[in-house]
């Protein structure tokens, strides 16, 4: 229990140690802790910002997809419409063409029928004349009775015409 | 010592409580004291070489480890040592923030130094009492107290340093007049100026005693706890060695040795709590005293 110079040395050590501890232990350690704290705060803020921007991009992307989908639907609608139009057009054209063909065929048939009728008429006229000539060989002069024969031929063609019209 | 066979328990205890003292001998020459009496006769002009060496060494060890970690401290992922140092620093910081309301950058590092330093000094108490002194005894060093906090010089040195800082900041923060008013205007207060003057003397008496008692209780609390703990370790070791000496004569010696060993273990486990608690109390009181010095009225 002797109080002596030891006490003063201890005071000296204390002063030196506290100074050293403040300068080389406390300040750097607290500095590192503070730096970490601000670093973490910064990173959290950054993460929050990133999250928000990601959210915005997601919304943009969704909007783009929706726009594209609408556009695609519009295109399909227009294409269907155009397709329908094309089909209608084709149908109309085909119908017209068919009608044209039918008309042409009918005209041709009529022409052929008329031609055949004319030929038949001429032949019938000649046969009739030839028949009559054989029956009336002696007294009938073809020149004096030509007018009579033409009237007969005209009468024959009238029923033939009615028959062709019916077909 | 116990092994010499001719030493009494009283001598054993006294030997363990004597510091290795360097000072001025009676004949005027300087040197190491040969006995406890000679050390006491040296008076004030002497130093306890063992206390100072252990005290300085432990303080330096603490600062070396901590400053090494602090120098390499990074804000990123800390290593194991940095993690430990940060844990201690944050623990101290929390305590300082809890008790110290003013702004002073010195208080927290001081609290850290006090806590770690005193903890390490107290920790020396857990080393078996005979080991280091006997090892040094073979090297020709006859006295050795390895627990600096069982030396009142060390605890008073710390407490008086804190007290000096407390007085310094009291005067600095409150001003000489404010500090004087704090010492003379409480606890008896009065509106009447005349009564106020009458109260100055009793107030000063009470406040002065309370002021002076601070460093004394501060240091004696630590010293007393550690000294008593050390004393019990010494008594337990007497039991252990006496038992060991009797072991080849009676069976009771074996029982005594085993009981001594067990007691040593139990007391050491309990002492872990005490050394930590005492270091913590010393630190908290330091913070509180510094806070009082910073209080304005």
User: Mean pLDDT, chain B, as a whole number?
Assistant: 89
What confidence score (pLDDT) does residue A140 get?
60
Q: Which residue has the higher pLDDT, B3 or B185?
A: B185
- Within an 8 Å CB–CB cutoff, is residue B39 touching chain A? yes
Q: What is the mean pLDDT of residues B211-229?
A: 94
Strand partners, B23: B31, B46
pLDDT of residue A51: 96
Mean pLDDT in residue range A3-32: 94
Place of tokens 């009492």: B129
d(C-alpha A59, C-alpha A64), whole Å: 9
pLDDT at A92: 94
* pLDDT value at residue A141: 66
Chain A CB contacts of B113 under 8 Å are: 14, 17-18, 21
Asked if residue A47 belongs to a domain, the reply is: yes
- Indicate the pLDDT class of residue B4, thresholds 50, 70 and 90: very low
Tally of CB atoms within 10 A around B180: 14
Q: Is the pLDDT of residue B294 over 70?
A: yes
On the question of pLDDT at A120 being above 60, the answer is yes
Collect all residues with Cβ–Cβ distance below 8 Å to A108 and sequence separation of at least 6: none
Structure-token pair, residue B12: 């054993």
Residue A24 belongs to a domain: no
User: Does the structure show a pLDDT above 70 at B6?
Assistant: no
Q: Do A10 and B153 touch (CB under 8 A)?
A: yes
CA trace torsion A118, A124, A130, A131 (10° rounding): -170
Q: Which pLDDT belongs to residue B3?
A: 46
Q: Say if A65 is an interface residue toward chain B (CB within 8 Å).
A: no
Q: Which residues in chain B are closer than 8 Å to A10, comparing Cβ atoms? A: 51-52, 55, 153-154, 156-158
pLDDT over threshold 70, residue A83: yes
The more confidently predicted of residues B288 and B17 is B288
**Which residues of B does the annotation mark as catalytic?**
217, 221, 225
In a domain? residue A3: no
Total count of domains within chain A: 1
Report chain B residues whose CB lies below 8 A from the CB of A40.
none
Confidence of residue A138 (pLDDT cuts 50, 70, 90): low
Domain around A109: 29-166
Check: CB of residue B184 under 8 Å from CB of residue B200.
yes
DSSP letter at B35 equals S
Q: What percent of chain A has pLDDT over 90?
A: 68
Q: Which residue has the higher pLDDT, B150 or B245?
A: B150
Complex ipTM: 0.89
- Rounded to whole angstroms, the Cα distance separating B162 from B167 reads 9
CA–CA distance from B240 to each of B132, B226, B259, B260 (Å)?
17, 21, 8, 5
CB pairs under 8 A between A and B: 135
Per DSSP, helices labelled H in chain B are 9-16, 36-41, 49-71, 80-99, 107-123, 131-138, 152-184, 193-246, 251-294
Mean pLDDT of A7-27: 95
Assigned domain for A92 exists? yes
- Inform me whether the pLDDT recorded for B88 exceeds 80: yes
Is A114 contained in some domain? yes
Asked if residue B23 has pLDDT above 90, the reply is no
Tell me, yes or no, whether A11 lies in a domain: no
Residue A26 contacts B, CB cutoff 8 Å: yes
B46 closest CB neighbour out of A4, A17, A20: A4
Q: Are B56 and A13 in contact (CB under 8 A)?
A: yes
- For the ranges A7-21, B25-39, B70-84, the lowest mean pLDDT is seen at B25-39
Q: Distance between CA A99 and CA B227 in Å, rounded? A: 131
């Amino acid at each position: 229990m002797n109080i002596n110079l030891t006490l003063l040395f201890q005071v000296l050590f204390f002063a030196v140690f506290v100074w050293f501890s403040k300068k080389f232990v406390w300040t750097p350690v607290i500095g590192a802790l503070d730096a970490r704290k601000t670093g973490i705060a910064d990173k959290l803020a950054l993460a929050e910002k990133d999250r928000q921007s990601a959210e915005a991009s997601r919304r943009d992307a969704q909007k783009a997809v929706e726009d594209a989908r609408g556009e695609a639907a519009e295109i399909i609608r227009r294409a269907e419409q155009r397709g329908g139009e094309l089909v209608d057009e084709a149908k109309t054209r085909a119908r017209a063409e068919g009608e044209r063909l039918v008309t042409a065929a009918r005209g041709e048939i009529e022409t052929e029928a008329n031609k055949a009728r004319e030929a038949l008429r001429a032949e019938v006229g000649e046969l009739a004349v030839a028949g009559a000539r054989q029956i009336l060989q002696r007294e009938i002069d073809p020149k004096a009775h030509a007018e009579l024969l033409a009237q007969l031929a005209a009468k024959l063609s009238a029923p033939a015409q009615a028959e062709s019209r019916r077909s | 010592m116990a092994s010499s066979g001719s030493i009494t328990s009283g001598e054993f205890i006294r030997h363990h409580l004597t510091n290795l003292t360097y000072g001025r001998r009676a004949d005027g020459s300087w040197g190491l004291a040969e006995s406890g009496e000679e050390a006491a006769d040296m008076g004030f002009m002497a130093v306890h070489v063992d206390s100072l060496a252990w005290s300085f060494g432990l303080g330096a060890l603490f600062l070396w480890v901590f400053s090494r970690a602090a120098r390499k401290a990074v804000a990123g992922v800390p290593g194991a040592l940095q993690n430990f140092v940060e844990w201690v620093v944050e623990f101290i910081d929390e305590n300082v923030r809890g008790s110290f309301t003013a702004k002073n950058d010195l208080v927290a590092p001081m609290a850290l130094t006090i806590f770690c330093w005193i903890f390490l000094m107290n920790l020396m108490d857990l080393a078996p009492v005979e080991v280091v002194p006997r090892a040094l005894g073979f090297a020709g060093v006859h006295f050795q107290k390895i627990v600096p906090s069982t030396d009142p010089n060390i605890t008073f040195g710390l407490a008086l340093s804190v007290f000096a800082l407390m007085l310094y900041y009291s005067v600095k923060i409150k001003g000489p007049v404010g500090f004087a008013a704090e010492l003379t205007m409480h606890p008896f207060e009065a509106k009447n100026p005349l009564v106020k003057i009458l109260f100055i003397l009793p107030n000063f008496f009470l406040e002065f005693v309370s002021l002076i008692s601070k460093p004394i209780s501060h240091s004696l609390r630590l010293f007393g706890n550690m000294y008593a703990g050390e004393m019990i370790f010494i008594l337990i070791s007497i039991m252990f060695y006496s038992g060991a000496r009797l072991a080849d004569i009676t069976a009771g010696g074996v029982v005594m040795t085993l009981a001594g060993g067990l007691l040593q273990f139990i007391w050491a486990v309990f002492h872990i709590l005490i050394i930590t608690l005492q270091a913590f109390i010393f630190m908290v009181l330091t913070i509180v005293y510094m806070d009082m010095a910073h209080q304005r009225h």
